[in-house]
Structure 1
Amino acid sequence: MKVLHVITGAETGGSRKHVITLLEQFSKDEVVLALMQEGSFAEEARKKGIRTEVFSQSSRYDLSILKKMVDFIKKEKFDILHTHGPRANLFGIYLKRKTGIRWVTTVHSDPSLDFVKSGVKGKVFTALSMYAVKKMDGYFAVSERFKQNLIKLGIDGDKIQTVYNGIHFTKEKAQPLPRSEFGLTDENFVMAMVARLHPIKGHTIVFEAMKGIEEEKRPHLLLVGDGPIKEELEKEVDRLQLNHYVHFLGFRSDVDQIYAASDLALLASYSESFPLALLEAANQHVPIVTTDVGGVKELVEDGETGWIVPVGSTADYAEALQKAVRCKEAGELTEMGDKLYHFASQRFSLEQLTNSTKYLYKKLIN
């Protein structure tokens, strides 16, 4: 069995981590990673020993690489094409048509929302993306809820394999970054939010919720990630006069250490499949406040290992943050994080991710 994974190579968040972590579990002659640009993604993959081929584009609309990819698939005799993300999925239509290869995808986000706030082009690409998603031979749904969402799109449930995201859970927590690096102390309540700076991630919900908490108890937010709306978010923080409390850290490779230095992990997305960032928080024994998206209910027990709030509700999010602050004051937050770690480490391992992935691959080629 030989599988070609295709993704743009510009990713910095959960989908990048998912792909690299997954491919590390396969032998070097079983998988190849194809990217559309050089950069930190390609560098990281190569350092991990993953065979990485780059089909460079002059722009995201450069389709000249498609023939090169077709020739590569035929020459290397791949059995399966595994695409990740909307652009790779769109290219998959052509690659499937020209090679006849079996084609699967992992849907890392809601395809109907991938191009929000992108104007007319966004509407066109959304239509194309939805078309592509319905043309594949198999699908990985990273939560049971997401499988049901795919079925609602008209996809045959027999083609969908539920495969929970997995990470390597460590026995020991990471060494926390010194809070002094951010001008903070042990007395501060510190939250970490690891998410690309994109409208779908709901950062403004968190900002509004923080604004609703009285200053003397207001948490600090370590914001990890980069993306197209960074300037917009910085202006919103300035408008809400939260500059002292929101710390933009950009892309970081020390997420485990940042979580280990935090009291709480946040997710405020309007849509997700199964957020890998929350598993990374669980590995550091950090409880979670999250919107009710994707498979979060399969990880977080509301009120026991974190809090789950309705999507888009600033008031509910603010209330959850206030509960977390009170729990820390009562000395209860650490126990919640420990309980989350023990549950997550038993259910969301790399072994189950690898086995479920191989199961669908073999089902398609046999």
Structure 2
Amino acid sequence: MSEPLRADGTTSRPIHVLMVLDSFSFGGAENLVAELGTHAPASMRISAASLAPPVGTRTALFGRIAEAGLEPTYLGVKKLADIGGFIHLVRTLRRTSADVVHAHLGYSAILVPLAGLLARRPVVATLHLIPQKHTQRREWLKERLSVRIPARLGRLILVSQYAFDEYARLHGPARHTWRMIPNGVDTDRFSAGRSGDHTGAQVWACVAALRPDKNHADLLRAWVEVVSAHPGARLLIVGDGPARPDIEHAVSELGLQDSVTLLGRREDVAAVLATVDGVVSASVEEALPTALLEAAACALPVVAADAGGTREIVIDGVTGRLVPVRDVRALAEALVSTIGDPVRAAEYGRAGRALIDQKYSLTRWIENLNRLYAEVIGDA
């Protein structure tokens, strides 16, 4: 299937990795795969496929993935029980020149390892979320399968220690095939924000999909206290989603029209971060929040709720402030004190950037993936 490995784990040609996503919808995993395509080293060749057919918003990132040179295709699997779609998936994996197939997200983590077994292709799967609180047994079973199947048939990657521990607690025990490999950010794309500029009113940003779990409601209530303590402070809300009408209503009800701006979904988040003094998150559920990795890469202080893997980026009193989830008063206090002490805020930012360089750079992520790919190819 592939060339023998050298002693250093490499081959005489690039390792071809086929990335299979649940869809090409707009999301963190999809953006991360596009970033990998843009920055893949000469030792790797990356292509991408969507498990789902091209319907509606499931095509949102097709263009960006194509621009990254990943030759995106659609596999046409409509649902987990789509037998015809699964057969097509198996046939596609048999025909592909890929040395390893890397599945991302829940449905792909279930179907791709099974198809890989039949097609005799080694498979790696990454789950980018933390376990959910399922009220229906069927959804709980799907999540369990997304853990157990790749762990038994290939390798399972979790993106934070928190996610690793939670999956082990709920769907474990952890096996020797489990790996904790945090995602990375392109440190060259992010420049320092305004955190070193102590003049003028402070501008902070919240970068998150507009969904209830991102908890913009508590953030806006806390921002009322921020504006009271620091008149002229502004908050930029970057993102879009189903909660937008509720957020717009809350802005109006709280009288924040002059201090809060909804920018909508932006493709130039790096440029936005270069104009702000800090980043805030009130999210109640995170595996490893990309927005906070990007903020730290910009050497920006971060104030965040202690949700999931957030604490692995926001070290309280070192890279920013970490407060209890859904504690509006604590969130407001942390924002007010950080905004009021720009020297300390700048220290947070510098420490955050050092942490990114050490553990969360795109280069480090790619190196970790390369080693794992060589491992699974060697096992095949």
User: Shorter-chain TM-score: what band?
Assistant: 0.7 to 0.9
Taking the TM superposition and a 5 Å limit, the aligned residue runs for 1:74-223 are 74-92=94-112, 95-96=115-116, 98-99=118-119, 101-113=121-133, 124-136=138-150, 137-152=154-169, 153-170=171-188, 173=191, 187-215=200-228, 217=230, 219-223=233-237
Counterpart residue number, 1:182 = none
**Residues 189 and 46 of structure 1: CA distance in aligned 2, closer, same or farther (over 3 Å):** same
User: Whole-Å Cα distance in 2 between the matches of residues 17 and 240 of structure 1?
Assistant: 34
TM-score normalized with structure 1 length? 0.83
Q: Classify the secondary structure of the residue corresponding to 1:249.
A: strand
User: Whole-Å Cα distance in 2 between the matches of residues 187 and 139 of structure 1?
Assistant: 48
Assess if the C-alpha contact under 8 Å between 1:134 and 1:155 holds in 2. no
> Residue type matched to 1:67 in 2?
I
Assess if the C-alpha contact under 8 Å between 1:174 and 1:257 holds in 2. no
Assess if the C-alpha contact under 8 Å between 1:288 and 1:306 holds in 2. yes
Answer with 102-111 or 252-261: which moved more: 102-111
- Cα deviation, residue 155, structure 1: 4.1
Q: Is residue 325 of structure 1 aligned with residue 342 of structure 2? A: no
Counterpart residue number, 2:278 = 264
User: Whole-Å Cα distance in 2 between the matches of residues 238 and 95 of structure 1?
Assistant: 51
Answer with 304-313 or 97-106: which moved more: 97-106
Q: Is residue 54 of structure 1 aligned with residue 67 of structure 2? A: no
- Cα deviation, residue 265, structure 1: 0.7
Answer with 140-149 or 235-244: which moved more: 235-244
- Cα deviation, residue 10, structure 1: 4.2
Q: Classify the secondary structure of the residue corresponding to 1:158.
A: coil
**Residues 49 and 175 of structure 1: CA distance in aligned 2, closer, same or farther (over 3 Å):** farther
**Residues 174 and 111 of structure 1: CA distance in aligned 2, closer, same or farther (over 3 Å):** same
User: Whole-Å Cα distance in 1 between the matches of residues 190 and 18 of structure 2?
Assistant: 35
**Residues 143 and 132 of structure 1: CA distance in aligned 2, closer, same or farther (over 3 Å):** closer
- Cα deviation, residue 299, structure 1: 2.9
- Cα deviation, residue 96, structure 1: 4.8
Tell me how large the CA RMSD over aligned residues is.
3.0
Counterpart residue number, 1:241 = 255
User: Whole-Å Cα distance in 2 between the matches of residues 252 and 348 of structure 1?
Assistant: 23
User: Whole-Å Cα distance in 2 between the matches of residues 284 and 139 of structure 1?
Assistant: 30
Alignment equivalent of 2:62, drawn from 30, 36, 42: 42
Q: Classify the secondary structure of the residue corresponding to 2:246.
A: helix
What's the CA shift string for 1:35-66, capped at 9, x where partnerless? 23374411111212222112357x77894543
Q: Is residue 288 of structure 1 aligned with residue 308 of structure 2? A: no
Q: Is residue 3 of structure 1 aligned with residue 17 of structure 2? A: yes
Q: Is residue 361 of structure 1 aligned with residue 361 of structure 2? A: no
Assess if the C-alpha contact under 8 Å between 2:131 and 2:163 holds in 1. no
- Cα deviation, residue 320, structure 1: 0.9
Assess if the C-alpha contact under 8 Å between 2:80 and 2:107 holds in 1. no
TM-score normalized with structure 2 length? 0.80
> Residue type matched to 1:274 in 2?
L
**Residues 93 and 164 of structure 1: CA distance in aligned 2, closer, same or farther (over 3 Å):** closer
User: Whole-Å Cα distance in 2 between the matches of residues 227 and 102 of structure 1?
Assistant: 36
What's the CA shift string for 1:325-354, capped at 9, x where partnerless? 2113xx443343233223322332222211
Assess if the C-alpha contact under 8 Å between 1:3 and 1:82 holds in 2. yes
State the aligned residue count: 348
Query: Gaps spanning 5+ residues in structure 2: where?
Result: 1-14
Q: Classify the secondary structure of the residue corresponding to 1:135.
A: helix
Assess if the C-alpha contact under 8 Å between 2:123 and 2:155 holds in 1. yes
Assess if the C-alpha contact under 8 Å between 2:126 and 2:156 holds in 1. yes
User: Whole-Å Cα distance in 2 between the matches of residues 221 and 287 of structure 1?
Assistant: 14
Q: Classify the secondary structure of the residue corresponding to 2:130.
A: coil
> Residue type matched to 1:352 in 2?
R
**Residues 263 and 93 of structure 1: CA distance in aligned 2, closer, same or farther (over 3 Å):** same
Assess if the C-alpha contact under 8 Å between 1:81 and 1:102 holds in 2. yes
User: Whole-Å Cα distance in 2 between the matches of residues 202 and 149 of structure 1?
Assistant: 21
What is the percentage of aligned positions where both structures have the same residue?
A: 25
Assess if the C-alpha contact under 8 Å between 2:306 and 2:323 holds in 1. yes
**Residues 53 and 80 of structure 1: CA distance in aligned 2, closer, same or farther (over 3 Å):** same
Q: Classify the secondary structure of the residue corresponding to 1:22.
A: helix
What's the CA shift string for 1:9-55, capped at 9, x where partnerless? 44434222222223442559743210233744111112122221123
Query: Gaps spanning 5+ residues in structure 1: where?
Result: 177-185
User: Whole-Å Cα distance in 1 between the matches of residues 79 and 328 of structure 2?
Assistant: 36
What's the CA shift string for 1:221-270, capped at 9, x where partnerless? 21111223222332333333333332221211111111111111122222
